Amino acid sequence: MSKLHYPDLQVCVLAAGRGKRMRSNLPKVLHKVLGRAMIDHILHTVESLRPKGIAVVTGHASEMVREHVGQPVNLDWVIQDKQLGTGHAVKQCEQVIRDVRDVLIVCGDTPLLQAETLARLVDEHRQCDSDVTVLTAQPDNPFGYGRIVRDADGHVSSIVEEKDASDDQRQITEVSSGIYCVRYEVLFDLLHAIGNRNAQSEYYLPDIVPLALAAGQSVEAALMDDSDEMLGVNDRVHLAHVEDLMQKRIIEEWQRRGVTVEKPDTVRIEASVKIGIDTVIQAGCYLIGATQVGDECRIGPNAVLVDAWLDDRVNVYAFSHIHGAAVGSDTLVGPYARLRPEARLDEHVHVGNFVEIKKSVVGEGSKVNHLTYIGDTNIGVGCNIGAGTITCNYDGANKFLTEIGDNVFIGSDTQLVAPVRVGDGATIGAGSTITRDVDAGGLTLTERNAQQHVTNWKRPVKVKR
């Protein structure tokens, strides 16, 4: 659990905007950055402050956002029917906020924001005993952001939006992140006083700054170290840019925790993935969703793991694809293997090239090394499944089970027509089509055509034209 704890803090997340520039049927905050919706990134960040409550303001497609997030206990949903501006959005939270010292206001579309940065904002706000504190930044390009206007003594006097700014004001390089910490006691009086006489006819949250000063309250600015953290996603170009920055951060975090990542620029490791120490992730790998990889594994190059679970010392060779499957320790997979949902490989298993396994168990020490399809099957321990074996699990309408005991040897090019069982220690001759249960032990094989030898056989020769 996070070390941070702000029991007298209320968080407001502004997420009612339409996100027009995304050109999407999805509300903006449901777009994913490294596999996690933007709203989940920001909620995860603010939850680690352990505040008293979190209010999320939604408007556009609010039902979709609610359905996605569910109902955490300390979260209140607030509807803003018309998007009349950021000040108007915060005002809608009045009914759900009670008995806190401060209100922290953040936007739903800034997934790079870190909890420590917010904690520093709240701490500085409290150390200065300020009424309104705005988190500011010095980005390389201030275009589009509200500029921080300071008086002759260097005190913040107002925040001017790009569209309302004079040419001189547009030269200011310090900008507002849109994130504020405001003393609860003063916040709603200030919000009620805001007007909408500006270039966008909106109720601007930044207008609380001059209103607070006019009321004799104190306003401070806290400058953030890394301006990338406030980057907001407005279109899909921003989305890709933010994802790149987050990917770099996540990979560096895993590297510091003892994971080797080769050619990190070619690798995707999504936000929810977990990886153990001394594991090597080679070039071109994609680790997606809820994938978990144990210690001392070796993955890749160019392997794809989606919601995969790997125990320790697993080798996944090049171009293998593992989706919704579990792999026991000391197991080898690939190259070019495909494990599909509900495949479970136990310890010391070998699965080789061009093998597909679906909804099946492969017992400890068993080998399925070449060109094989295993579906709806349980394989015991110590088995050898020969090249080209096919479990015929589907009759075109229904699926059936194949059950293979322990220490079974299945010869190459065998078809097992399910439902069928093979007893412990059985051996099946190459090229058999097994349609009935096979007894334990002994050799089972289906009839073969007699082998012939034609001594005077001549190979055809190419006709010259």
Q: Which residues bind Mg ion (CB under 5 A)?
A: 232
Q: Tell whether residue 177 is a contact of ligand UD1 (CB under 6 A).
A: yes
Which of 128, 237 has the CB closer to Mg ion? 237
Q: Tell whether residue 205 is a contact of ligand UD1 (CB under 6 A).
A: yes
DSSP 8-state secondary structure symbol assigned to residue 49: T
- Of 10, 48, 62, 80, which lies in the binding site for ligand UD1, with binding defined by CB under 6 A? 80
Instruction: Please choose which of Mg ion, ligand UD1, none residue 88 contacts, taking the beta carbon within 5 to 8 angstroms, the exact cut-off set by kind.
Output: ligand UD1
Instruction: Please choose which of ligand UD1, Mg ion, none residue 334 contacts, taking the beta carbon within 5 to 8 angstroms, the exact cut-off set by kind.
Output: none
Instruction: Please choose which of Mg ion, ligand UD1, none residue 204 contacts, taking the beta carbon within 5 to 8 angstroms, the exact cut-off set by kind.
Output: ligand UD1
Instruction: Give me the amino acid identity at 42.
Output: I
Handedness of CA 41, 46, 47, 52 (dihedral sign): negative
Taking the C-alpha atoms of residue 340 and residue 139, their distance in angstroms, rounded to an integer, is 45
- From 203-211, 214-222, 282-290, 365-373, span contacting ligand UD1 (CB under 6 A): 203-211
Q: Tell whether residue 334 is a contact of ligand UD1 (CB under 6 A).
A: no
Q: Tell whether residue 27 is a contact of ligand UD1 (CB under 6 A).
A: no
Q: Which two tokens stand for residue 80?
A: 């803003």
Element (H, E) at 261: strand 260-261
Q: Tell whether residue 142 is a contact of ligand UD1 (CB under 6 A).
A: no
Q: Tell whether residue 355 is a contact of ligand UD1 (CB under 6 A).
A: no
Could you say which of 60, 68, 238, 370 is catalytic? 370
Which of 175, 345 has the CB closer to ligand UD1? 175
CA 427 to centroid of chain Cα atoms: 46
- Residue whose structure tokens are 């006709």: 463
- Largest Cα–Cα distance in the chain? 112
- Of 45, 117, 130, 176, which lies in the binding site for ligand UD1, with binding defined by CB under 6 A? 176
The answer to whether residue 370 is catalytic is yes
Residues 6+ apart with CB under 8 A from 389: 368, 372, 373, 374, 410, 412, 413, 414, 415, 416
Instruction: Please choose which of Mg ion, ligand UD1, none residue 329 contacts, taking the beta carbon within 5 to 8 angstroms, the exact cut-off set by kind.
Output: none
Taking the C-alpha atoms of residue 157 and residue 144, their distance in angstroms, rounded to an integer, is 19
Taking the C-alpha atoms of residue 288 and residue 268, their distance in angstroms, rounded to an integer, is 8
Instruction: Please choose which of Mg ion, ligand UD1, none residue 104 contacts, taking the beta carbon within 5 to 8 angstroms, the exact cut-off set by kind.
Output: none
Taking the C-alpha atoms of residue 456 and residue 440, their distance in angstroms, rounded to an integer, is 44
Q: Tell whether residue 157 is a contact of ligand UD1 (CB under 6 A).
A: no
Q: Tell whether residue 180 is a contact of ligand UD1 (CB under 6 A).
A: no
Site string for ligand UD1, 240-259 (x = CB under 6 A): --------------------
Which of 230, 267 has the CB closer to ligand UD1? 230
Do residues 113 and 106 touch, judged by C-beta distance below 8 A?
yes
- Work out the number of other CB atoms within 10 angstroms of the CB of residue 52: 16
Q: Tell whether residue 88 is a contact of ligand UD1 (CB under 6 A).
A: yes
- From 115-123, 175-183, 287-295, 398-406, span contacting ligand UD1 (CB under 6 A): 175-183
Residues 6+ apart with CB under 8 A from 294: 276, 279, 310, 311, 312, 313, 314, 329
Handedness of CA 245, 246, 247, 248 (dihedral sign): positive
Calculate ∠ Cα 377-383-388, nearest 5°: 70
> Nearest distance from residue 297's CB to ligand UD1, in Å?
39
Q: Tell whether residue 89 is a contact of ligand UD1 (CB under 6 A).
A: yes
> Rounded to a whole number, what is the distance in angstroms from the first to the last CA of the chain?
82
Active site residues: 370
Per CB under 6 A, residues contacting ligand UD1 are 14-17, 57, 80, 83-86, 88-89, 107-109, 145-146, 159, 161, 175-178, 204-206, 232
